[in-house]
């Protein structure tokens, strides 16, 4: 019985006879909410980062298909060129949708993503070796 009575006395220490929550109860609730917000925030960040990686992978596949079709139609690439979101150049007819990243197309048709060109004010130049009429 003494143990039960001392536990009730301890609980009464937190409530002082007034309505509302004690400081400790509020702090525990805030700690739980902060933990939940942190976990949700991490999940959202993983989703965003994963999405940007998927966009890059999709764009790489689209550019590679465009280069393959470009080369299959009898064109050749005499020197590397840059495909940017604002200027897709000779690959424009072979690409579907808009790009979000810049890519370098090498002479052998391989592609590589370029960091820092999209949105930096630098314009990539696209060169075609098509015979001019």
Residue by residue, pLDDT tens for the chain (133 residues) are 455 667 767 666 665 556 677 889 899 999 999 999 998 988 888 877 777 778 888 888 888 999 899 889 888 888 888 888 888 778 888 888 788 888 888 888 888 888 754 444 444 443 344 444 3
Domain presence at residue 123: no
CB atoms within 10 A of CB 106: 13
Query: Does a structural domain hold residue 97?
Result: yes
Q: Is 84 exposed, middle or buried (0-12, 13-18, 19+ CB in 10 A)?
A: buried
Within a domain: residue 121?
no
Q: Which domain holds residue 76?
A: 2-114
Would you state the pLDDT for residue 87? Answer: 80
Whether the full predicted model's pTM is greater than 0.85, yes or no, is no
In a domain, 77, yes or no: yes
What's the pLDDT at 127? 38
In the chain, the number of structural domains is 1
Contacts with 89 (C-beta within 8 Å, 6 or more apart), sequence order: 81, 83, 124, 126, 127, 128
In-domain check, residue 119: no
Which residues are bridge partners to 81 per DSSP? Answer: 105
User: What is d(CA 60, CA 84) in angstroms, rounded to the nearest whole number?
Assistant: 12
């Amino acid at each position: 019985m003494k143990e039960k009575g001392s536990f009730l006395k301890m609980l009464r220490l937190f409530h002082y006879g007034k309505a509302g929550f004690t400081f400790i109860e509020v702090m525990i609730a805030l700690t739980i909410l902060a933990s939940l917000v942190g976990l949700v925030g991490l999940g959202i960040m993983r989703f965003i980062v994963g999405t940007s990686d998927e966009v890059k992978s999709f764009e790489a596949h689209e550019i590679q298909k465009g280069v393959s079709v470009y080369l299959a139609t009898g064109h050749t690439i005499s020197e590397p060129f840059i495909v940017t979101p604002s200027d897709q150049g000779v690959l424009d007819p072979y690409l579907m949708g808009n790009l979000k990243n810049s890519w370098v197309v090498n002479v052998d048709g391989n592609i590589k993503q370029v960091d820092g060109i999209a949105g930096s004010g630098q314009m990539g130049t696209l060169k075609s070796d098509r015979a001019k009429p």
